[in-house]
Amino acid sequence: DAGVIQSPRHEVTEMGQEVTLRCKPISGHDYLFWYRQTMMRGLELLIYFNNNVPIDDSGMPEDRFSAKMPNASFSTLKIQPSEPRDSAVYFCASSLGPGLAVEQFFGPGTRLTVL
Amino acid sequence: AQTVTQSQPEMSVQEAETVTLSCTYDTSESNYYLFWYKQPPSRQMILVIRQEAYKQQNATENRFSVNFQKAAKSFSLKISDSQLGDTAMYFCAVSGGSNYKLTFGKGTLLTVNP
């Protein structure tokens, strides 16, 4: 298996522009997570899906952020409009089944820079 | 709410030696799991080891082992026979409650010197 795939790996954009980050989970995994990593706040969970349905979006910072999962093999995280404070590494992760012990498999991340 | 504290922002160790990374956590859940994830310079997050809170026996995975002290809410990671490839950021995390959310610490940057 190719693992969790994220694109792009790097994104540089200007303030005010729309940014779309993409994720393909591991085939068969039914949970998908979006995380943001910054020096100041560490690794934070933004939102997660179960069987394509958003379960908890309490970590989404504000209305400028939205996430969708139209099918089991694809998810997007959109920021519109983007701001310099959104600069971070965004990770997508997926897991198989529910459970506290279940390992989450992470993608390589997208480094976003908003100028 | 769950919190994870890693009090050592950076550590270094000589190749082949042993090093211990500290982690304390807090959770109101009675059933939870603890994890150590590794993030090398490639940025990829990799699971190193996990521990079930209701198991007293400490988990081990080859050169990696944990010291789980439930009463003290402490979960340290010991790396034996350190290798250059162990150089990475190490994150402690806790998973508890009905929402399966992982809460991470801020990480410890470990450098293994030749």
CA distance A112 to chain B (A): 14
CA distance A39 to chain B (A): 8
> What are the φ/ψ torsions at residue A77 (nearest 5 degrees)?
-120, 120
**B17: pLDDT strictly greater than 90:** yes
Which of A40, A100, A104, A105 is the mutation pick for testing B, counting most B CBs within 10 A?
A100
pLDDT 10s digits, A29-88: 999 999 999 988 889 999 999 999 999 899 998 899 999 999 999 999 999 999 999 999
Which of A33, A34, A43, A96 is the mutation pick for testing B, counting most B CBs within 10 A?
A43
**Is the CB of residue A91 less than 8 Å from the CB of residue A25?**
no
Q: Is B45 on the interface with A (CB under 8 A)?
A: yes
pLDDT at B54: 86
Residue B33: CB atoms within 10 A of its CB come to 21
pLDDT 10s digits, B73-104: 999 999 999 999 999 999 999 987 666 778 99
